[in-house]
Amino acid sequence: MVEAQEAIAAGVPPLRRKVWTRAEYARMINAGLLREGDHVELIAGEIVAKVTQNSPHATGVSLGQEALRAAIGSGYHVRVQLPLSFEPDSEPEPDLAIVVGTPRDYRDAHPASALLVIEVADSSLVFDRTWKGSLYARAAIPEYWITNLGSGLIEVYRDPGPDPAALLGHGYRQRLSIGPDGEIVLAAIPHALVAARDLLP
């Protein structure tokens, strides 16, 4: 970082980075340049390596999947670490997402939106709060949760909108922290009630 600042001060132009689109990303996958085992996702035009899952993270994803499926009922589908294609330059793979319909509804294309997205975070917490939070707000995902493994809290973000201070120009205007004894009602599915403890390893 110091070297980059010195180069800029000396008049050396910054490196120009290639910004990838979803179409280009798909072509790389179809050509075999990127494989399923590469554990990457497209975030705001950047191909980003996903954090390797440790045991608490994997447990948090599994618990979240069970809790959401029990809460939402029919007419909705819980996707686990599968792509969402709602931005021309992004194809994130959130740990959990609730979408309308059934798995067969997305045979030909990934969902273009979601009612709720959840990331399970330990070492990825800062990235999930900043880049992922701003990305999901920009895509108008109405509700975003972070299962914070370090604090044992569920961070609930709602009311997405423009925010010049956010990395991608959008953020969530409401943030709640729910402890293990709390419960969360899904904003888009009012009959769905999730106990925070059911999401925590």
What tens digit of pLDDT does each residue of 170-187 get? 999 999 999 999 999 999
The pLDDT of residue 40 is: 83
Strand bridging mode 76-80 / 96-100:
antiparallel
Strand bridging mode 143-148 / 116-121:
parallel
Span 60-105, pLDDT tens digits: 999 999 999 999 989 999 999 999 998 788 889 999 999 999 999 9
Specify the pTM: 0.86
Q: For residue 182, what are the contacts with CB-CB under 8 A and spacing of at least 6?
A: 154, 195, 196
| Distances 153 to 130, 132, 170 between C-alpha atoms, Å | 17, 18, 24
Binning pLDDT at 50, 70 and 90, where does residue 8 land?
Answer: low
Lowest mean per-residue pLDDT among 10-14, 79-83, 142-146: 10-14
CA 46, CA 17: separation in Å to the nearest integer?
A: 9
CA 190, CA 201: separation in Å to the nearest integer?
A: 25
51-199 classified as CATH 3.30.450.20: no
Binning pLDDT at 50, 70 and 90, where does residue 1 land?
Answer: very low
DSSP-derived 3-state class of residue 91? strand
Strand bridging mode 96-100 / 116-121:
antiparallel
